[in-house]
Amino acid sequence: MNYLITIIGPTAIGKTALSIALAQHFGCDIISCDSRQFFKEMKIGTAVPNEKELAGAPHHFIQNKSIFESYSVGDFEQEALAKLDELFEKNNVQIMVGGSGLYVDAVLKGFDEFPDIDASVRAEINAKFDILGIEYLQEQLQKLDSEYYQKLQTENPQTLQNPQRMKRFVEVCLGTGKPYSSFIGIRKNKRNFTPIIIGLEANREKMYERINQRVDIMLKEGLLEEAKNLYPNKQLNALQTVGYRELFDYFDEKTTLDFAIEQIKMNTRRFAKRQITWFKRTENVSWFDYLADRKEIINFINDIIKK
């Protein structure tokens, strides 16, 4: 039986330190599923593990891509599963860690399969969106799949403001003549491992304090210079992320540096809240305080493995 110990939780909660401690105990490797840490040009602003941490255990999928490469969650799913197959040949316990919920789900569960949609449908939706805006997409989804629209409105309202996601929903509805939600949950993805999901948490005040401290440390380590080097490529998708976007506004003289730094902290706190919302919906998570004794977590995992 193979086991994939999966460590989740909000940013700056201590996932990296725990993953290294567990990897050293179980003598295994670490799969990173932090989508911001894939890119080798983004080191400081994504809190990539430092040299000492990387030396503590073998890591995979850290700074292995360039911001100029196209890399999707589907690509990651395939590469991560192939790497796990290889690693399980050596040790039946492996570790995955990261705060990108979508990428965690990709490895643990995979995605639903949708039929191919004719390009003309996409073109028509894009044309109407350019004229009518996000309201057009919202009205279409409400009409074509009211059940899914209501679900998003209740559980994930920000998605209703996301043009790319909304275009996809409407595209599937119009292209198939069926509700988008009718394709969800049909495909069953088999995995050759049993997940053991460990969540780390802290009270909000402590979490926010840790986030603010991390941003201050990033600035001392040279985040401003890193962002300045990336600024000429600010339009790339990989750079549309907290910690860089705010400094790009400063370089564009839209804000002061002090304001940009406060925005980084505030947006990181908001990001952490979204992470918590996502992970709290994840099934079969065993939650531990971020200060929990490592032995307690190791004993908990061992009890599962020995059953």
Binding-site entries for ATP:
9-16
Q: How far is CA 252 from CA 94, 231, 246, in A?
A: 44, 10, 10
CA of 223: how far to CAs of 40, 67, 219, 231, in Å?
14, 17, 5, 12
Using only the alpha carbons of the chain, give its radius of gyration: 21
Buried b (16+ CB within 10 A) or exposed e, 196-230: bbbbbbbeeeebbebbbebbeebbeeebbebbeeb
d(CA 107, CA 177): 30
Neighbouring-strand partners of residue 289: 201
Contacts with 55 (C-beta within 8 Å, 6 or more apart), sequence order: none
Inter-residue contact 6 to 286 (CB < 8 Å): no
- Going by the annotation, the residues of the binding site for substrate are 11-16
Three-class SS of residue 159?
Answer: helix
| Binding site residue list | 9-16
According to DSSP, residue 234 is labeled T
Q: Which phi-psi region, left, alpha or beta, contains residue 62 (left: φ > 0; alpha: ψ -120 to 50)?
A: beta
- Let me know if 110 is exposed, middle or buried by CB neighbors in 10 A (0-12, 13-18, 19+): middle
